[in-house]
């Protein structure tokens, strides 16, 4: 047993008292044990670091950052930033089909001029699509029944400064020079003007002649005496051996055409005639569009008329003319090719 002398502060052999100073010795082996201090637990092993992003994930992250940067630059270059667009702030949108600086829309005119028994009215001018081109709509009243306008001769449109508002192209229409027109859906005629400035710049419209279809005096007589069926029933009228006539169109070199009234029908309160048109010479070329006209007449009264352009690669056409009429004993189909003009030297401008 080992003992310890508290006075000498020395370890002594086992005994009751210190042999040196006589102080009772303390037992250091069988005394009250000192409470053991729990050793701190060993540190837990650190979790392994998360695996690094794969190459694909890293590439995606870089792509997202790049796209975000490009979107930011696009917003800055476009004159708007992301937050403003997200917050619903108003922004200007430029249509891809309407270049800036071209006005879209329609200007109502209502400009009217009268000469003789005819009246010409410029109803409206409107912008077309995105090419800066415009279209003029006109109405012509007071012509003989069945006369159709094919072109406007001497058409000049001026702007507020006295210069040209538009320069529509002229063509030879049945031997007369003019700006071709096409029938409008709501009535009247449409004229393609080509490129024009703003619609408000149009000040006035000048005109010299109306180009119309021509009848040359070649006639086919239809004997329509007898009962005319009522309702949907029709009666066939035989044109007879004189149902075929020839017409000369003088549009440069003379062109000979054959008109053949192949069939006619009456009844139900109307009359109709079908006319085949073909060149006399089978291989004769009609390089320029040639108007052919058929009028249906009762005596000297024109009931109706039809004009059609033929030529180019088109096959010989069939021209149909028909309209409501009361029963008569005889009808005349007047036929012609080419065009004639009606003088119409007028200037259309706003009233007042």
Name the residue with higher pLDDT: 204 or 286.
204
Residue whose C-alpha is closest to residue 181's, from 204, 209, 146? 209
Task: Indicate whether 85 pLDDT > 60.
Answer: no
Please tell me the predicted confidence (pLDDT) of residue 103. Answer: 47
Average pLDDT of the residues in 206-215: 91
Please tell me the predicted confidence (pLDDT) of residue 285. Answer: 64
Q: Which class is 218-339 in CATH?
A: mainly beta
Give Cβ neighbours of residue 258 (< 8 Å, ≥ 6 apart). 244, 245, 246, 247, 277, 278, 279, 280
Task: Indicate whether 163 pLDDT > 80.
Answer: yes
Look at strands 339-348 and 202-213 and give their pairing: antiparallel
Q: Would you list the domain boundaries of the chain?
A: 106-214+343-348, 218-339
Between 2.60.40, 1.20.120, 1.20.1050, 1.10.10, what CATH number should domain 106-214+343-348 receive? 2.60.40
Percent with pLDDT over 70 in the chain: 69
Instruction: Please tell me if the domain spanning 106-214+343-348 has the same topology as the one spanning 218-339.
Output: yes
Q: Write the DSSP assignment of 92-154 as a string of letters.
A: ----TTS-TT---SEEEEEEEEEETTEEEEEEEEEEETTTTEEEEEEEEESPPTT--EEEEET
Q: Is there a contact between 313 and 263 (Cβ–Cβ < 8 Å)?
A: no
Most confident residue range from 24-28, 44-48, 140-144: 140-144
Alpha carbon separation from 292 to 170, 209, 275, 299 (Å, rounded): 19, 19, 11, 21
pLDDT digits (tens, 9 = 90+) for 42-60: 555 555 544 444 444 444 3
Mean pLDDT of the chain: 77
Residue whose C-alpha is closest to residue 164's, from 190, 197, 132? 197
Please tell me the predicted confidence (pLDDT) of residue 1. Answer: 54
């Amino acid at each position: 047993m080992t003992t310890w002398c508290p006075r000498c502060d020395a370890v002594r052999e086992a005994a009751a008292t210190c042999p040196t100073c006589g102080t009772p010795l303390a037992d250091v082996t069988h005394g009250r044990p000192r409470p053991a201090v729990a050793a701190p637990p060993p540190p837990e092993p650190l979790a392994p670091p998360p695996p690094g992003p794969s190459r694909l994930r890293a590439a995606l992250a870089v792509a997202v950052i790049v796209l975000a940067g490009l979107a930011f630059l696009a917003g800055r270059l476009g004159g708007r930033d992301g937050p403003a667009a997200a917050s619903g702030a108003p922004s200007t949108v430029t249509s891809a089909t309407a270049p800036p600086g071209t006005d879209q829309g329609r200007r109502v005119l209502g400009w009217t001029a009268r000469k003789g028994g005819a009246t010409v009215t410029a109803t409206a001018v409107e912008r077309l699509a995105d090419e800066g081109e415009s279209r003029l709509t006109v109405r012509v009243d007071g012509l003989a029944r069945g006369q159709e306008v094919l072109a406007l001769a001497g058409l000049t449109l001026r702007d507020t400064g006295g210069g040209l508002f538009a320069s529509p192209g002229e063509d030879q229409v049945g031997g007369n020079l003019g700006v071709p027109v096409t029938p409008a859906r709501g009535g009247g005629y449409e004229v393609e003007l080509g490129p024009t400035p703003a619609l408000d710049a149009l000040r006035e419209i000048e005109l010299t002649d109306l180009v119309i279809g021509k009848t040359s005096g070649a006639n086919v007589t239809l004997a329509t005496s007898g009962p005319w069926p009522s309702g949907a029933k029709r009666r066939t009228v035989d044109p007879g051996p004189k149902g075929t006539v020839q017409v000369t169109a003088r549009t440069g070199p003379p062109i000979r055409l054959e008109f053949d009234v192949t069939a006619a029908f009456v009844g139900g309160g109307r009359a109709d005639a079908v006319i085949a048109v073909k060149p006399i010479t089978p291989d004769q070329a009609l390089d320029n569009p040639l108007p052919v006209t058929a009028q249906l007449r009762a005596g000297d009264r024109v009931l109706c008329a039809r004009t059609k352009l033929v030529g180019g690669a088109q096959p010989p056409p069939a021209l149909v003319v028909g309209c409501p009429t009361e029963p008569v004993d005889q009808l005349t189909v007047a036929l012609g090719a080419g065009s004639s003009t009606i003088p119409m030297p007028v200037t259309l401008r706003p009233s007042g």
